[in-house]
Amino acid sequence: MSNYISNNRPDPDQVLVDIADYVLNFKIESKLAYDTAHYCFIDSIGCAFEALTYPACRKMLGPIVPETSVPNGAKVPGTSYQLDPVQAAFNIGTMVRWLDFNDTWLAAEWGHPSDNLGAILAVSDWISRQQIAVGKPGLSMKTVLESMIMAHEIQGVIALENSFNKVGLDHVILVKIASTAVSSKLLGLSKQELINALSLAFVDGQSLRTYRHAPNTGSRKSWAAGDATSRAVYLSLIAQKGEMGYPSVLTAPIWGFYDVSFQGKSFQFQRPYGTYVMENILFKISFPAEFHAQTAVEAAMTLHHQLKEMGKDFTHIQQISIRTHEAAIRIIDKHGPLHNPADRDHAIQYMVAIPLIYGRLTAADYEDEVALDDRIDQLRAKISCFEDQQFTKDYHDPEKRSIANGLSITLIDGTQLPEVVVEYPIGHRIRRTEGIPKLIEKYKINLQRIYDEAQQQEILSKTLDYHTFQETKVHELVDLMRK
């Protein structure tokens, strides 16, 4: 007896409809969300500029066909490239994500919602230049902020209750979904066209997380988000041309996403879409470290200074214990050889050893030149992690969302230093007042890596003041950031 599946075309899955309704109809009124999105933009573009100082990133950039330039195409900040919006999204998204230094969202699924800036800035800049070319006004940066808030919300709200990593999928699936939604809105798609685009994004084969984990950790994790944003723009453009969608892409028995890729489970939702995610986003300010280790690195810096005050250093350490949360153990508790920078910035032992030895942690500390120091592996071997269930509970608590780590050190002479616990990293909403001045300083340092003094000041004059920033046309700001 065969299982009969009706061939009647169903209504679109409610998940698709809800996303479409949100991006097309929701009015953003939260001043906090806009202010935070402004900081998120300057932090993300600053991360992109720092990434440009790394040859491994730069080799990924530019057009598919060398020396191709697209008239009225989207320009890539910090470079001379002018590309079609699909390839521009890949370039910008890759730059933003390369050093693991942009914002973070932690819940049932983890991710970096500012990855979506690749699609948002590329599409907005391209549309703005197209409109100027035919005598219409260009888009303002306020449109970029609105798109960022919505992309953050879509990615973050789905992530609250739905773990893709537990079924082996990478979180960049959510970048693709969110970027498809906001790109489609920017392109002026109708509700049905937008739903079609979203369905195409779910139909895609999705990235496996294997490039983030032993024994395959590698540099794809640094360009996976760029890949997701570019794919989102491509699918949005196809839907704009009238390509059909697949209404029950999630719920179709046997062949739908839930049955094929999500162990038969449907998505669960904690809250409706609004502005919650942008308002509560986590910034990486002090350290380019996987976010579950941010507080551990801060604690290690404190202990480094304590040891100095005692007239001692890391050579006097016998054992280090890290009290942490379950997600950190699952993702970054890593022993054995570390093969490349992507491997090292996802190893909590490495990220703690560096500040204990050197009193710092920078992106350059993941490179081979530093990693060749034998003392790092010797200290890594003395570090062990264990889960504190209260830390895990507080990590998932929507009122706390802490990312706590506690470091305890035992010295060779038997002395035990008091445990140093840091519950909230400096980029957490709870520490915003403390964090924003440091975020702006980080941005200024990143501008200095790329531009001369005159161009730095010109960019700062357009980006630091919120009201000036939001009124600036997208293409004009991107032009200021050209090299």
Residue 215, preceding peptide bond in cis (omega within 30° of 0): yes
Instruction: Give the list of residues 6+ apart from residue 246 with CB closer than 8 angstroms, or none.
Output: 199, 200, 202, 203, 252
Phi-psi group of 147: left, alpha or beta (phi > 0 → left; psi -120 to 50 → alpha; rest → beta): alpha
Structure tokens at 326: 């379950």
CB 314 within 8 A of CB 301: no
Q: Would you give the end-to-end CA distance of the chain in angstroms?
A: 67
Helix (H) or strand (E) holding 380: helix 374-380
- Measured CA to CA, the distance from residue 150 to residue 466 in angstroms comes to 19
Total number of residues shown for the chain: 483
Verdict on whether the full-model pTM lies above 0.85: yes
CB 226 within 8 A of CB 92: yes
Side chain identity, residue 86 = V
- Measured CA to CA, the distance from residue 258 to residue 252 in angstroms comes to 8
CB 130 within 8 A of CB 186: no
Closest CA to 446 of 48, 103, 79: 48
Side chain identity, residue 71 = P
- Measured CA to CA, the distance from residue 119 to residue 308 in angstroms comes to 46
CB 111 within 8 A of CB 289: no
Is 251 buried (19+), middle (13-18) or exposed (0-12) by CB count in 10 A?
middle
CB 379 within 8 A of CB 357: yes
CB 354 within 8 A of CB 296: no
- The tens place of each residue's pLDDT in the chain, 483 residues long, gives 456 677 888 999 999 999 999 999 999 999 999 999 999 999 999 999 999 999 999 999 999 999 999 999 999 999 999 999 999 999 999 999 999 899 999 889 989 999 999 999 999 999 999 999 999 999 999 999 999 999 999 999 999 999 999 999 999 999 999 999 999 999 999 999 999 999 999 999 999 999 998 889 899 999 999 999 999 999 999 999 999 999 999 999 999 999 999 999 999 999 999 999 999 999 999 888 888 999 999 999 999 999 999 999 999 999 999 999 999 999 899 999 999 998 999 999 999 999 999 999 999 999 999 999 999 999 999 999 999 999 999 998 888 889 999 999 999 999 999 999 999 999 898 999 999 999 999 999 999 999 999 999 999 999 999 999 999 999 999 999 999
CB 363 within 8 A of CB 101: yes
Q: Secondary structure of 287-334 in the HEC alphabet?
A: CCCCHHHHHHHHHHHHHHHHHHHCCCCHHHEEEEEEEECHHHHHHHCC
Bridge partner residues of 260 (DSSP)? none
- Measured CA to CA, the distance from residue 83 to residue 99 in angstroms comes to 23
Q: Between the CA of residue 416 and those of 9, 167, 297, 320, 384, what are the distances in Å?
A: 68, 41, 19, 10, 15
